[in-house]
Structure 1
């Protein structure tokens, strides 16, 4: 009897080894006298009822190779350098007429005006007549005083002579020129609402020119 039991245990151990080698595991459900159940991987203790069940041994998931880190994206090429060419700032001049009126100009020439020579200091004489020199001619203009001659002129000068002269002009500092451009733009925008359609077209063109000059000469609007 003892020999038979030993043979049975050897067979169980052999089956268990075979099951383990084949990837199976035997689970024992043991129930004691109180009806309490327990699961174990070895035979139940003596005095407990047991139920055995062969199950597949759990296996770890095969190790997968970690994906290689993606190669760093190539650096984007440097942005092309943008070169902006600005025209040199244009000068602005303030000119004064002989009446004292001031105006701005794009050049320092000043507006020309025709004046008689006697206003420049030349001697004023009456024109020659059939009765002789300085007889019966027009009197010099009494509303403006005659200036003393700037140089000694020993020949008669006709009262009808004259010359073109220009208003005096002085260049404005850049900051003052920019301020006057902005003032003129404000005047255009105020006038625009009450202007006729034909005048509005001219005001638009002038404002575009002022804005372009402010961007180029004054560093913005």
Structure 2
């Protein structure tokens, strides 16, 4: 019986000690000590012998409960990177000015003038009369047509002709852009008086001209 009672007392003391360690006292005694030289100090133990002592009960400071770290707003995800696109302009297309034998001027996109059929003799090729079963140039041996301005040593055809093209020269870029704008103005004038079927063709031509002006002349 005594052993059981002693064991119970020990358990109570142990529990009280644990509670005391887990939960400190609500107040604490602070000692204000003044020595012979008048120096004042504060401490939690009684003052040394020979010092003036003042004791005061104060609330024991309690550590603040750890605060939950403030949740920072999640930064917004950057917008998905879009594929960078590079636009390449085509090199400016040349524009040519061509001249007919009569002196009329017009423009060409490929530098090839309009074709025309001319007799060979106009180009200086020698011509002869057709041969017959009786011989060459029967009855008129002296009438052989030989233009003097060109020497041709290879065989030629009698009475033939050939296609030739008008001469063309490339225009400077500034002049080419001005001619393209003039061409567009002409299309718009024709569009005003054109029938509906012709207007469809003129619309396509103007779209092509606008695209060319945007590429070659910065849209001007």
Post-superposition Cα deviations, 1:9-59, rounded to whole Å, max 9, x if no partner, equal xxxxxxxxxxxxxxxxxxxxxxxxxxxxxxxxxxxxxxxxxxxxxxxxxxx
Post-superposition Cα deviations, 1:40-96, rounded to whole Å, max 9, x if no partner, equal xxxxxxxxxxxxxxxxxxxxxxxxxxx988566555456643311322221111111
2:177 aligns with 178
Q: Distance between the aligned counterparts of 1:106 and 1:97, measured in 2? A: 16
Q: Distance between the aligned counterparts of 1:189 and 1:177, measured in 2? A: 19
Q: In 2, are the aligned partners of 1:126 and 1:134 still within 8 Å (CA)?
A: no
Task: Name the CA shift for 1:154/1:95 in 2 (closer, same or farther; >3 Å).
Answer: closer
1:208 pairs with 2:207: yes
Q: Distance between the aligned counterparts of 2:109 and 2:172, measured in 1? A: 13
Shift of 1:156: 7.6
Q: In 2, are the aligned partners of 1:94 and 1:105 still within 8 Å (CA)?
A: yes
1:99 aligns with 102
Structure 2 residue matching 1:193: 3-state secondary structure: helix
Q: In 2, are the aligned partners of 1:122 and 1:153 still within 8 Å (CA)?
A: no
Work out the number of aligned pairs and report it. 150
Alignment of 1:35-74 (within 5 A): 73=76
2:167 aligns with 168
1:116 pairs with 2:119: yes
Q: Which runs of 5+ in 2 are unaligned?
A: 1-69
Structure 2 residue matching 1:95: 3-state secondary structure: strand
Q: In 2, are the aligned partners of 1:214 and 1:220 still within 8 Å (CA)?
A: yes
Structure 2 residue matching 1:113: 3-state secondary structure: strand
Q: Which runs of 5+ in 1 are unaligned?
A: 1-66, 141-145
Match of 1:132 among 128, 138, 150: 138
1:81 pairs with 2:84: yes
Q: In 2, are the aligned partners of 1:122 and 1:157 still within 8 Å (CA)?
A: no
Q: In 2, are the aligned partners of 1:125 and 1:134 still within 8 Å (CA)?
A: no
Structure 1 vs Structure 2 CA RMSD = 3.5
2:45 aligns with none
Task: Name the CA shift for 1:195/1:166 in 2 (closer, same or farther; >3 Å).
Answer: same
2:218 aligns with 219
Q: In 1, are the aligned partners of 2:94 and 2:170 still within 8 Å (CA)?
A: yes
